[in-house]
Amino acid sequence: MDAHDYLWLDLEKVGVFELCRLLLCKQIGERKFINSNDDKGLYGTFWHKVDQLSRESPDFSSVIGLTDTRLELDDQIRHEDPRYNSALAIMAAKTAYENEARIKKIVQDYWKMDFIGFYNCSNAFETKPVADKEKPTQAFMFSDKTGHHELICVSFRGTSPLCADDWCTDLDLSWFHLKGIGRVHLGFLKALGLQKSEENYAWWPKDIKHNENITFAYYKTRQVLKENLEKNKDARFIVTGHSLGGALAVLFPTILALHDEHELLDRLEGVYTFGQPRVGDDEFCRFMEDLLGVKRYFRFVYANDIVPRLPFDDTDFHYKHFGRCYYFNSLYKGQVLNEEPNKNYFSIKSIGPMYLNAIFEMVRSVILPYAYGRRYREGVLLLGLRIYGLIFPGISAHCPQDYVNITRLASPDTFNAQKYDFY
């Protein structure tokens, strides 16, 4: 027999003690009753292997997915409804936190749309080899062909609550100056695909050498987007993301403009961000307002969400928002403003209202399912975050749950950019 790839279990050597060691020992291949052509490849505890398999399952849900378990789109929001793109965008932004198999299942089975691809992307400034750590940036793409024209959606994943790399990205308050554009949050640029340069520390080349083992979010999504738009000259695309994903969604068209990708930008229907942090300085904001205008950029902020109020807009940090803010209070009543109220979060006069609002959100959690149906029921995990919000208002307000509710319960008029005379 000529077997080059095998795993053989010698059952005569199995004992209770060996079974216990199988559950706990990292080097599975060292067990006496296991023989394999690649013992070193059998690395990791039994529970680690089981956990790894379960995390890749289409039925495995992330922490974010457990805070809001809704998978279906709202069938009451049709294409002619001004909320449609926003409602689709927040569901895509929320789904971006899941694994590839689950995302594919949601897009195909629940939304009845075409799954294009999932991209696990690297950071050129990683200090460890890519193979030794989880790639920090994720994005996926799908195609909605249910309307009058094909709509391709690019969705970037936000900050994973259990991912240290994401937190490092968010907390990196250093900036990088993009010529002709302005100063931009360096952590966000690195996550999107900023390249290392021996001479100038970093740069954004229009094209990079192809490497099958390393994928960068900007270059990969741009490539796939071009390929799919070429198939249908009437197709358009939107970009979305929640939290960190919102920052990446804003920067994606920024770098397209830097690289003079005018044909792509002409087919951009809109950028939809939810709980997005500040990305750049005054110069950057002016550039983005000229690039997107107010009818292609929708920045949603819910109540006391702390993330859109970071990094601070002051003389020390220089970070600012651009465009208009679609602001919604805890009753899901919307306004279109220049800036969200209490823009830097920490304010003595706002402390009382924030705590009262956190109490109201707890009460509302109980009322919503009775008022609007079981789809608005909040699970134990989210209720726990609501309780935490009584101590630190603004944390629980960042969850996608309220942003999904905004697009479903708020007045459609708030989402109609055409009705506002901005200038």
Could you read off the pLDDT tens digit of each residue along the chain, which spans 423 residues? Answer: 444 555 455 555 556 555 555 555 555 555 555 666 555 555 454 445 445 557 788 999 988 999 999 999 999 999 999 999 999 999 999 999 999 999 999 999 999 999 999 999 998 887 665 444 467 899 999 999 999 999 999 999 998 765 656 656 666 678 999 999 999 999 999 999 999 987 778 899 999 998 888 899 999 999 999 999 999 999 999 999 999 999 999 999 999 999 999 999 999 999 999 999 999 999 999 999 999 988 999 999 999 999 999 998 887 778 999 999 999 999 999 999 999 999 998 888 888 999 999 999 999 999 999 999 999 999 888 999 899 989 988 888 999 999 999 999 999 999 986 555 544
Helix 84-95 to helix 400-409 angle (10° resolution) is: 160
My answer on whether 219 and 277 are in the same domain is yes
Tokens describing residue 181:
């554009």
Contact 123, 136 (CB under 8 A): yes
C-alpha 138: how far from its chain's center? 8
* CA–CA separation, 72 and 375 (whole Å): 10
Q: Is 103 found in the same domain as 42?
A: no
Rounded Cα distance between 312 and 330, Å, is 23
Query: Do residues 43 and 162 both lie within one domain?
Result: no
Catalytic residue among 122, 243, 365, 396, which?
A: 243
CB 158 within 8 A of CB 245: yes
In whole angstroms, give the CA distance from residue 191 to residue 124.
8
Is the domain of 43 the same as that of 72? no
- CB–CB of 217/135 below 8 Å? no
Q: Are 29 and 67 in the same domain?
A: no
Tokens of 59: 């039925």
- Calpha distance 301→324 (Å, rounded): 11
Give Cβ neighbours of residue 146 (< 8 Å, ≥ 6 apart). 79, 112, 113
User: 305 catalytic, yes or no?
Assistant: yes
Q: Dihedral, CA atoms, 279, 280, 284, 286, nearest 10 degrees?
A: 80
Do 4 and 141 sit in the same domain of this protein? no
Residues 320 and 400 in one domain: yes
- Side-chain half-sphere of 315: how many Cα atoms within 13 Å? 0
Task: Verify whether residue 421 is a known catalytic residue.
Answer: no
Domain range for 136: 62-419
Residue 205: is the preceding peptide bond cis (ω within 30°)?
no
User: How many domains are there within the chain?
Assistant: 2
Distance CA 97, CA 162 (A): 11
- 67 with 102, same domain: the answer is yes
- Are residues 171 and 236 both part of a single domain? yes
On whether the CB atoms of residues 336 and 324 are closer than 8 A, the answer is: yes
Please tell me what DSSP assigns to residue 43.
B
- pTM here is 0.86
CATH number at residue 381: 3.40.50.1820
The answer on 24 and 85 residing in a single domain is: no
Burial of 266 (0-12, 13-18, 19+ CB in 10 A): exposed
Asked if 243 is an active-site residue, the reply is: yes
Among residues 242, 281, 398, 402, the one annotated as catalytic is 398
Q: Which residue bears the tokens 């706002």?
A: 350
Q: Are residues 41 and 66 in the same domain?
A: no
Same domain as 364, residue 333: yes
Q: Which of 160, 305, 318, 365 is catalytic?
A: 305
